[in-house]
Structure 1
Amino acid sequence: MQDWHMHHYLPTQRGKHSPQTITVTGQGTVTVKPDTVIITLGIRTEHTNVREALSENAQRAGVMIQALKAIGVHEEDIDTASFSIYPKYNYTNGISVLVSYEVEHIFDITVRDTKTVGNIYETAVANGANIARHIQFKLANEQPYYQQALAIAVKNAKEKAFVIAHTLGLPLHDIPIQIKEESLAPTLSPSLPSTVVLAEQQTAPPIQTQDIIISAVAQAIFTY
C-alpha cells in the first residue's frame, strides 16, 4: 500500500551564477502485518501475611511458566516486566489499619507466531494468570519494509520535481544534486492501555493483529 502526500514547491534561484533548483519532498508508505507480539500479563495475589502472598504468587508463576513452555513458548521469551509488593490499608475515623499485602508479578511474553496469541492467553489464565495489561504488535526486522518505503519516497520526489518542471516548461536534470533521507519511526498499533483482571475460568477472546505503517521521507534538490 502506497500513500503519497503532495505539497506545493516553487523553483528557487541562488544567484546569477548558481544553479537554479527545485526542492521537493517525497513520501513513501508501506503497510505490513506484524510478525511479533509482546503480551504483558501476570499474577496478583493477596494475603494478610506477606510471606504467604509471596509464596502463593511464586507458586502460581512457576505453574504458569511451565504451562507456557509446554505449548512452545521459549524460556528466553518470558521476561519479568515488574515485581511489586503493596501494603493495603483500611481507613476508619482517620486511622489507617494494615489489612493485607498484595503481590504482583508482571511478565512480558514475546510471541513469534501471531496465530498462537489467543492460545497463550488461554493457557496463561488457565494456569494462574489473573491480570493482563498491554499487547504490542511489532516487526522482528523492519529494515526491508523501510527500504521499500524509502524507494517509494525517492521515486515520489522525482515525480513531483518533473511535474513542477513540466508545468513551468523547465529543462529539469534527471539526477538530483542533493538528496536527504528523513527518518520516521514506524507507526505501531497502540497498546491496550488499561489493566484487565481475568477470571480463572474465562478464556481469552480472539486477538486480531493490527497493521504497522512504515513511512520514509526523502528531500531532493534538482537543477534546471
Structure 2
Amino acid sequence: KVMRTITVKGTGNVSARPDYIILSLNIEVLSETYDRAMSEAAERIERLQGAAVRVGYRKEDLKTTSFDVQTRYENVKDRQGNYKREFAGYACSYRLKLAFDFDSKQLAKVISAIADCGAQPELSIAFTVKNPARVSEELLINATENARAKAEILCKASGSTLGQLLNIDYNWGELNV
C-alpha cells in the first residue's frame, strides 16, 4: 500500500481587546557628583511613588525594571578649535513600571498625578493583554483548524480521504500581543 501525504500550512489570527496597561517611566539625573545624582534620582522616585499612592496604589506597585549609573563626557572645543572630551558628570537612570487593569479614567488620573508630582519622567504607555498565554492558545487553535480545513479541501479535490495526522511543525511567524 502506497502512503500518500499532504502538507499544509495553517494560519490564524486572533484579536484581543487590551485589558491591561503598562506604564513605563524613565528618570535620568545628570550631576557633577555621584552622591548628588543618586540623591536627586531618589527624590524623583519618591515623588513618583507619592503620585502612585495618591491615585490608589502602594508605593511598591511602582516597580524598578532597571537601574544604572554611568559617567558622561562631552566634546568641548578648546581655544585652538580642537575638541577634547571633558567629564560632564554621573548619569543615574531608573526605569520603572506601573501595571494595572485597563481603565481609561484611572489612566488619566495616574498620568495627571505623575505630571503634577514634579518628577518629570519620560513616559510611555503600552496597552496589552493581561494573559498573553490565553491569546496564544486561541491563535494555535485557530491555525490548527485552518490547516485541517485546507487538508480536507485537498483530499476532497483529489478524491482521497483524510487519514491520521503524521506531523505538526509549528513556529510563530508573527505574534504581537
The alpha-carbon distance between structure 1 residues 99 and 156, as it changes in their structure 2 partners (threshold 3 A), is: closer
C-alpha contact (below 8 Å) 2:47/2:119 kept by paired residues: no
- Determine the structure 2 residue equivalent to 1:103: 92
* TM-score normalised by the chain length of structure 1: 0.62
Cα deviations by residue, 1:15-48 (Å, 9 ceiling, x for unpaired):
xx33222222222211112222322213333444
- Determine the structure 2 residue equivalent to 1:195: none
Q: CA-atom RMSD, angstroms?
A: 2.9
The alpha-carbon distance between structure 1 residues 179 and 128, as it changes in their structure 2 partners (threshold 3 A), is: farther
The alpha-carbon distance between structure 1 residues 179 and 129, as it changes in their structure 2 partners (threshold 3 A), is: farther
Distance, in Å, in 2 between the alignment partners of 1:110 and 1:51 is: 30
C-alpha contact (below 8 Å) 2:63/2:96 kept by paired residues: yes
- Determine the structure 1 residue equivalent to 2:76: 91
Give, in angstroms, the shift of residue 160 of structure 1. 1.1
C-alpha contact (below 8 Å) 2:52/2:62 kept by paired residues: no
- Name stretches of at least 5 consecutive residues in structure 2 with no aligned partner: none
The alpha-carbon distance between structure 1 residues 113 and 177, as it changes in their structure 2 partners (threshold 3 A), is: closer
Match of 2:121 among 131, 134, 144: 131
Cα deviations by residue, 1:129-161 (Å, 9 ceiling, x for unpaired):
323254434322223333322222222222212
Cα deviations by residue, 1:38-81 (Å, 9 ceiling, x for unpaired):
22213333444443333222122112102202312344432223
Q: Trace 1:61-210 onto structure 2 (pairs within 5 A).
A: 61-85=45-69, 86-89=71-74, 91-93=76-78, 94-98=83-87, 100-115=89-104, 116-132=106-122, 134-168=124-158, 170-173=159-162, 175-180=163-168, 182-184=170-172, 187-188=175-176
Of Structure 1 and Structure 2, the greater strand share is in 1
- Determine the structure 2 residue equivalent to 1:53: 37
Distance, in Å, in 2 between the alignment partners of 1:125 and 1:90 is: 33
C-alpha contact (below 8 Å) 2:54/2:113 kept by paired residues: no
C-alpha contact (below 8 Å) 2:21/2:126 kept by paired residues: yes
- Name stretches of at least 5 consecutive residues in structure 1 with no aligned partner: 1-16, 189-211, 213-224
Of Structure 1 and Structure 2, the greater helix share is in 2
C-alpha contact (below 8 Å) 1:64/1:129 kept by paired residues: yes
3-state secondary structure, aligned to 2:8: strand
C-alpha contact (below 8 Å) 1:88/1:101 kept by paired residues: no
Cα deviations by residue, 1:148-181 (Å, 9 ceiling, x for unpaired):
222222222222122222223x1313x5332415
- Determine the structure 2 residue equivalent to 1:191: none
3-state secondary structure, aligned to 1:180: coil
**Aligned residues, how many?**
171
C-alpha contact (below 8 Å) 1:43/1:60 kept by paired residues: yes
* TM-score normalised by the chain length of structure 2: 0.75
